[in-house]
Amino acid sequence: MAIATGASNGATAITDAKRRYQAGVLKYGQMGYWEPDYVPKDTDTVCLFRITPQEGVDPVEAAAAVAGESSTATWTVVWTDRLTACDSYRAKAFRLEPVPNGPGQFFAWVAYDIILFEEGSIANMTASLIGNVFSFKPLKAARLEDIRIPAAYVKTFKGPPTGLIVERERLDKFGRPLLGATTKPKLGLSGRNYGRVIYEGLKGGLDFMKDDENINSQPFMHWRDRFLYVMDAVNKASAATGEVKGSYLNVTAATMEDMYERAEFARQLGSVVVMIDLVIGWTAIQSMSNWARRNDMILHMHRAGHGTYTRQKNHGVSFRVIAKWLRLAGVDHLHAGTAVGKLEGDPLTVQGYYNVCRDSYTRRDLPRGIFFDQDWCDIRKVMPVASGGIHAGQMHQLLDLFGDDVVLQFGGGTIGHPAGIQAGAVANRVALEAMVKARNEGHNIRIEGAEILRKAARFCGPLQQALDTWGDITFNYTPTDASDFTPTAAVAR
């Protein structure tokens, strides 16, 4: 086995060509994948991996192996390396540090030449960076924590088809977060009843309603029926309120041909937005982004499935990396966590995800898990979505954490309202308007938020009912993916 099992005395690259390319097995460091003096170029992609070597495996050699197996190396010397510009094509591990409070874990910095990746292809980039290397036996675990994508490579991507600013202009909604809700139950309703839920939510004051990740075209409701009833509800709610309304029509399907057919039908019906799931894969995501750009459509991304590889701290891919890839791939909305809801999310870490979506230039911010500066080269901004176990009683926390450029989605917190769906929507809209007004007047909503809501509820029965029903509901569990530098507790009411 090429991995070193002792001290790092085998990490020095062999420069003598005869010895370097002699048939047999060399350590990865000897093959040139460890360069502690290397200074990354502006055009390099730089990745930060969290690695956990097996017992007895030298961490330096493990870092070199990650660089090798994610670029050009194999387990033995191959003379065909000499037919290439191999010194350029090799990834280079150049820095190694122990993880704070993580025994046996190390942060490894690895640089990749821009020539290693196909322009404008997330599929190609991920095939290298998270391809075989995560199954490598000498590593107990490996996680891609963060990535710096060079400006030269960023410019090969089109990015979001609509973007945060243009979306607000199309919807004519400014100065506050957008409000939404996921139709519940997410499976089992007929098309007609599904449409009724959509109408009630939008009529009550929400900006968006949405399909959930697993509603596609099942026996109880064919996709075409759903689209027809949903758009009838959207149009009636828009006429009743005088506001632009939308509902995320999930076009996720078995084939690209099916997805294009569904998206085209949504466009013909006048929808302003379509939705896809992360599970469709990078090629399909970029293909749907191109379609949305051609057809002036907002593209909503549900991150279905991400927790299988983003949640565990020692193995997988951090969601901040997924968020960067999705911004490049080209989505307009992205579920990015709530911090206060039912789903995983440390408050500062989640804020880091939001910054990745909305920044023009993301600055290194270790407490929020951001290890690199990232120039987005004026690529359009993604609207983050907070969804999952949130309710009107948390409005001050959500506005304080995430600001205005976010979609706040209250599914159960709208549809589960004791006075009905429309009352649930009214409660959320009044809570939001009251909180934005108080913030704009100079109130400290983080401290005064609960009292602001109580005062607003005196004049709004649905809000009072919402606070009575859910006011004491919290999801206070220790996050599994907090920053290694500034651990923070989950937000409590």
User: In which region does residue 32 sit, left (phi positive, over 0), alpha (psi from -120 to 50) or beta (all else)?
Assistant: left
Give the integer Cα–Cα distance in Å for 402 and 400: 6
- For the chain, the residue count is 493
Q: Can you tell me which residue has the tokens 């951001």?
A: 370
Q: Is 210 a catalytic residue?
A: no
What span, in angstroms and rounded, lies between the C-alpha atoms of 461 and 333? 32
Of 27, 245, 300, 302, catalytic: 302
CB within 8 Å of 74: residues ≥ 6 apart: none
pLDDT, tens digit, for every residue of 411-451?
Answer: 889 999 999 999 999 999 999 999 999 999 999 999 999 99
Averaged over 465-480, what is the pLDDT? 76
Q: Please identify which residue in the block is written with the tokens 């005062």.
A: 455
192, two tokens: 């007609």
What is the amino acid identity at position 169? E
Beta bridge partners of 362: 374
Q: Which position among 184, 236, 315, 443 bears the catalytic label?
A: 184
pLDDT score for 129 = 95
Mean pLDDT of the chain: 90
* pLDDT for the residue 163: 96
Q: Is 140 helix (H, G, I), strand (E, B) or coil?
A: strand
Lowest-confidence pick of 21-35, 93-107, 206-220, 245-259 = 21-35
Single pTM value for the model: 0.91
d(CA 53, CA 287): 38
Task: Kindly tell me if the per-residue pLDDT of 487 is higher than 70.
Answer: no
**Contact at 8 Å (CB) between 350 and 483?**
no
| Over residues 216-236, mean pLDDT | 97
How buried is 400 (Cβ within 10 angstroms: 0-12 exposed, 13-18 middle, 19+ buried)?
middle
CA distance 205 to 411: 14
d(CA 234, CA 194): 12
Query: CA 176 to CA 166: how far, in whole Å?
Result: 15
- At 162, the amino acid letter reads T
411 against 324, higher pLDDT: 324
Burial 55-80 (b: 16+ CB within 10 A, else e): eebbbbbbbbbbbbbbbbbeeebeee
Please name the helix (run of DSSP H) or strand (run of DSSP E) that holds residue 59, with its range, or none: helix 59-69
What is the per-residue pLDDT across 275-299, written as a single tens digit (0 to 9) for each? 999 999 999 999 999 999 999 999 9
| CB within 8 Å of 102: residues ≥ 6 apart | 50, 314, 484
Compute how many other C-beta atoms are within 10 angstroms of the C-beta atom of residue 102: 14
Q: Tokens 């607003």, residue?
A: 456
Cα torsion angle, 300, 156, 282, 322, sign: negative
Question: What is the arithmetic mean of pLDDT over 479-489?
Answer: 64
User: 115-134: per-residue pLDDT in tens?
Assistant: 999 999 999 999 999 988 88
Whether 222 sits among the annotated catalytic residues: the reply is: no
DSSP letters of 313-332? Answer: SSSEE-HHHHHHHHHHHT-S
Answer whether 172's CB lies under 8 Å from 146's CB. Answer: no
The C-alpha angle 140, 146, 151, rounded to 5 degrees, equals 140
CB 139 within 8 A of CB 28: no
User: In this predicted structure, what is the pLDDT of residue 6?
Assistant: 39
Give the phi and the psi of residue 465 in degrees, each rounded to 5.
Answer: -65, -40
Give the three-state DSSP class for 109: strand
Query: Of 8-12, 136-140, 219-223, 308-312, where does mean pLDDT reach its minimum?
Result: 8-12
Tens digit of each residue's pLDDT (9 = 90 or more) over 147-172: 999 999 999 999 999 999 999 999 99
State how far the Cα of 5 lies from the Cα of 435, in Å rounded to an integer.
Answer: 59
